[in-house]
A and B are shown apart, each in its own frame.
Chain A
């Protein structure tokens, strides 16, 4: 079977300005969503208490809500538990959330006991056996802050590490193009998470890091080809050479995207709970990663080459374009 016929010649480079315009719009839109409606921080970063419980079917969410409200813990929230794509909300499973206390305050001491308080209240209100606490999470303000810092550091270090690696293996301009493509992917993925009302927690960071790892993968394969093509096809103008290389690798680019997409789609559909959010982020990342590989990274390299060429025509005699080390 072949999806992409050999000798295919799509004009990637020719439409690059439209493609980049689309990317710019998406990135801008995503950046806007960071401010409005803004990131919904999950418990890992925001801190607070989260109790996942199953109630007797005879009991109603309003009864639970009322019981929790009576505790007057401040900033409580009761909602149905989202079990995954297929199940939607799980029957009789609920999430009780208590907002994080401020750091250092007296309430910080007490916050560690919020889960116990809710447990005792449920026992008192509904009786033992009419509820089951499946999971409780408490993240204190100090830990939440640390995790936030660590998460940002992780993204920073990964980008820096990749920048160094590609500079070492290829050239700085390739590295810059690749990193630009990565930031593009990360920002759009974040925007997609915000628009679909998903929370940011540690698994989001994991998803974004994985997307970076995956997207760079794609970009490197194409850079590898461009480097090879630069040696093989010196006569060809730089832009045409890049376009040819994009076409030659197109089959592989799409196939790999497809197989990865298949697996994350299965995770999204069947994995449930935490995995669902993770897989959703990955699905978005696979699509943007492929897009950015085809359009963003190579466009940047072309643009860089253009500037260099322009400078060269004014200062020095013309050398063959796309000359590599």
Chain B
């Protein structure tokens, strides 16, 4: 018994020391300045903890975005690409086919064969050469349709999400946000958390841009759509192999319509750099200059060399920015003009550098919290927790006298351990998390109440103080474990379900249960064991009743 007591004291001392160590960076953290006040040697050491408790976005201010990725678009794009290739291949193989078209929802390739012989030939060719396509209907008829293999489609969807995430990471990095967190959530969502962002609207714009930059040859142009397509040669239809794209002025009004040659000759995917610059020739002054990688430079020089004297449209996100005439062969540099303000040009340069998004995205949830609100909430949370703790502590002493004091000691240790665990695990403290801490205080004393009530009973039944303590701890244990385990269960479910702030609550509630069991059962027991030792041992149990 004595040895085990020594071990227990050793354990508690170790836990207390470790807790204080883990709490030091938090105590020395200057939350206003956002930096540590610890000395250099501490920060440079490899072993000592450096991280203060993480504050959630709701407490430190910042931006929380849930971005939905249109993963179907990736599948549709691939299906469209395959359709094109298939049409070409069928014609090179001289397999007669009357139609190879995309279904309305762009999910299937629909074919039409003139006769049974070509149908056989065609389906056989496809099953041999297009293993990613599976029959999707029209089996046995002359109009079979094909769709992408499920496995393949899933790979494309996953890739789309991964690419979007990578692009967002580099955009946010380029913009310069401290400690961003950008993680995938579920199948088609990305959670972006940006603490301390000052200009949320601007970040949102940068995040959302597709930043698709294309260079396309101009076939024709006119101020209105009617004037352009009304010409006799078009007969009101956009000709095959061309795309109708507008040019807009600063206020978003369409000033010009262009017919551009469909497949873009060169795209922004081949950029290595993009910068904001000033140019005297341009209204507004700001432009974005860019530089191609070797592949892009090769394509670009080929394009510009072959079409000197023709206009080349620079298309950004589906809008013509400018359509200058190619004056000479250009190799690896170029610029985008378009009535930019310096800020717009800077942001455009950021998104061009970071790359384009492969598919469209949409903001599905947005929460922006200003910094002043968080400080107010922290202050209120602290005040409420302080008074809650103080009142409970006073009540415990009033009710259980010396026993209450022991329980209060456990309560203080509990708070220290809980905060230390938050720091050590780098969990995030949120506003509901503070409520969780306060609640832990209220529920933590329950374990000691259970023990003390048992002790009182045992004393009333005439047991000696020593055996009353023994019995109190022993008999209360199963109730303490049971009741805490069930609360832990609720906490874990909450962690699984909750996002952001609510998760913070689940974390403090669950960790609080662990620290509660430790402090209320192990720590207080040691105090009682010590009381019954040595010459100064107590003859009476002071737990608020006369026996």
Contact = CB atoms under 8 A, between A and B. Distances in A.
A225 B395 CA distance: 26
A155 to B, nearest CB: 9
B493 A209 contact: yes
Contacts of B364: 139-140, 142-143
A266 B395 contact: no
A165 B439 contact: no
A185 to B, nearest CB: 12
B506 to A, nearest CB: 8
Contact of A206 (B66, B395, B494): B494
A256 to B, nearest CB: 4
A59 interface: no
A151 B362 CA distance: 23
Interface stretch (B40-48, B128-136, B373-381, B521-529): B373-381
A136 interface: yes
A116 B208 CA distance: 14
Among B66, B363, B502, B544, chain A packs the most CB atoms within 10 A around the CB of B502
B439 A251 contact: no
A282 B440 CA distance: 13
Interface string A135-172: 11111101100010011011001100110011001000
Contacts of B395: 258-259, 262
A211 B445 CA distance: 17
A32 interface: no
Contacts of A157: 493
A82 to B, nearest CB: 14
B483 A221 contact: yes
B485 interface: yes
A135 B450 CA distance: 44
B366 A115 contact: yes
Nearest to B407: A259
Interface stretch (B384-392, B418-426, B462-470): B384-392
A136 B387 contact: no
B497 interface: yes
Contacts of B369: 134-135
A6 B544 CA distance: 13
A139 to B, nearest CB: 5
Interface residues of A, number: 76
B487 interface: yes
Contacts, number: 225
B384 A275 contact: yes
Contacts of B453: 249, 251-252, 255
A259 B442 contact: yes
Contacts of A213: 486-487, 489-491, 509
A271 B381 contact: yes
Interface residues of B, number: 74
Contacts of B387: 266, 270
Contact of A266 (B368, B438, B445, B497): B438
A135 B373 contact: yes
Interface string A191-230: 0000000000011011001101110111011001100000
Contact of B489 (A116, A158, A269): A158
A282 B487 contact: no
Given A262-B442, A275-B384, A210 B489 contact: no
Interface string B491-504: 10110111101100
Contacts of A1: 398-400, 544
B396, B457, B489, B505 — most chain A CB neighbours (10 Å)? B489
Nearest to B443: A260
B490 A209 contact: yes
A272 B380 contact: yes
A140 B368 contact: no
B388 A221 contact: no
A109 interface: yes
Nearest to B439: A263
A157 B312 CA distance: 61
Contact of B487 (A115, A214, A224, A259): A214
A84 interface: yes
Contact of B494 (A137, A154, A267): A154
Nearest to B380: A272
B391 A262 contact: yes
Contact of B483 (A143, A153, A203, A217): A217
B429 interface: no
Interface in A240-282: 248-249, 251-252, 255-256, 258-267, 269-275, 278-279, 282
A95 B398 CA distance: 44
B431 interface: yes
A132 interface: yes
A255 B434 CA distance: 23
Contacts of A42: none
15 contacts: A138-B365, A147-B499, A203-B501, A205-B494, A213-B509, A216-B487, A251-B453, A262-B391, A263-B438, A266-B384, A270-B380, A270-B383, A272-B376, A275-B381, A275-B431
Given A210-B494, A261-B442, A272-B377, 12 more contacts: A1-B544, A139-B365, A154-B496, A162-B490, A214-B443, A251-B453, A252-B446, A260-B443, A263-B389, A265-B388, A267-B439, A279-B435
A-B pairs with lowest CB-CB distance, top 5: A263-B442, A213-B490, A263-B388, A213-B487, A266-B388
Interface of B: 66, 68, 200-201, 204, 362-370, 372-373, 376-377, 380-381, 383-385, 387-389, 391-392, 395-396, 398-400, 431-432, 434-435, 438-439, 441-443, 445-446, 449-450, 453, 456-457, 460, 478-479, 482-487, 489-491, 493-494, 496-499, 501-502, 505-506, 509, 544-545
